[in-house]
Amino acid sequence: MRAALMYGAGDVRVEDVADPVIKHPTDALVRVTAAAVCGSDLHLFNSLSPTAGPLRMGHEFVGVVEDTGSEVTTLKRGDLVVSPFAISDNTCEFCREGLHTSCTHPEANYWDFKPDEGAQAEAIRVTLADGSLVKLPVAADSALIPSLLTLADVYCTGHSAAVLGGVNEHTRVTVIGDGAAGLMAVLSAKLLGAEQIILMGRHPDRTNLGREFGATDIVAARGAEGIEAVRELTGGQGTQVVIEAVGHLPAYEQAVGVVRAGGIISRIGVPQYEEAPIGMASLFMRNVRLTGGLAPVRAYIEELMPAILNGTIEPGKIFDTTTDVDGVPAGYQSMADRQSLKVLVKP
């Protein structure tokens, strides 16, 4: 079959690889019908050392079950499924608490950490299939597939950031970053009732979509100028919740600058740094709390799916480019060049 592999920074290739096969009785084989390139994939696209590659790529997918291991009980051939980016058994102590990204099962993992599997391909072997895969009540060619695909990562991630930030009808929110995760955070904040949503972004096509999703204000400036603009919009105080959806240190520093005293910074951008201001002046003196992390996507899929199925929301609007597997390398470059917001892959 055809699959995308990353050999190093800027070097994504599509090659013929061996078809996946059942290895464990808890496995399922899934024919991928829709996948995506994630903003977090771009971190590797910009930095992967050639000595670390090649890596199979892709952690967001919808597909049709083609075969199952002998211990799989909830799935059968022909089922259409969506997979979260983290593999879990959905039964351990952490999973029962809704923290599937800390599943204790020996086979629990992240798709990005499985060098022999990836969703930017024609098929994939799913370990812990009963725990990870969620059946979708639509056909594989449904017009809802792009929106349902966002349940694999980006929509649930934006929702998680808003929930951890405590967004409600009394909060003002700043979202830093107009990529797909940031836009999903805007949508989630709107659905949770935020009274003001300030989107910090510089790309009009994206911020226009942000307005459609619920942003009340757009701030294009960055750094000190951007911080001042947000404070002007909030009576000089900043917002109670700041969702940082970029992952680079300047974005975090911007979050510190716009958060209100007593507020919460919720991070969903994968941090590309280890040291950042968390001390006396930055957080402690102002009683600012820091939260976020890898979203436990599996915990939210059933909760968020109905609004997609009934047409209340359309998170799939974040996909503005569609390609097949052979077009994945160009898709990476297009996203890296900010020509595409998010690439939908249809094998």
- Please give the distance of CA 37 from its chain centroid, rounded to a whole number: 10
Q: What is the pLDDT of residue 244?
A: 98
**Cβ atoms of 343 and 322 closer than 8 Å:** yes
**Cβ atoms of 198 and 215 closer than 8 Å:** yes
Backbone angles phi, psi at 317, to 5 degrees: -65, -15
Instruction: Name residue 145's amino acid.
Output: I
- Please give the distance of CA 152 from its chain centroid, rounded to a whole number: 7
Tokens of 21: 């096969």
Tokens of 47: 């930095």
Mean pLDDT throughout 237-242? 97
pTM: 0.95
Q: Is the pLDDT of residue 53 over 90?
A: no
Residue 91 binned pLDDT confidence (cut-offs 50, 70, 90):
very high
8-46 pLDDT tens trace: 999 999 999 999 999 999 999 999 999 999 999 999 999
Q: Is the pLDDT of residue 302 over 90?
A: yes
Mean pLDDT throughout 101-119? 94
- Label the pairing between strands 80-83 and 61-68: antiparallel
Residues contacting residue 95 through CB under 8 Å, at least 6 positions apart: 88, 89, 103, 131, 298
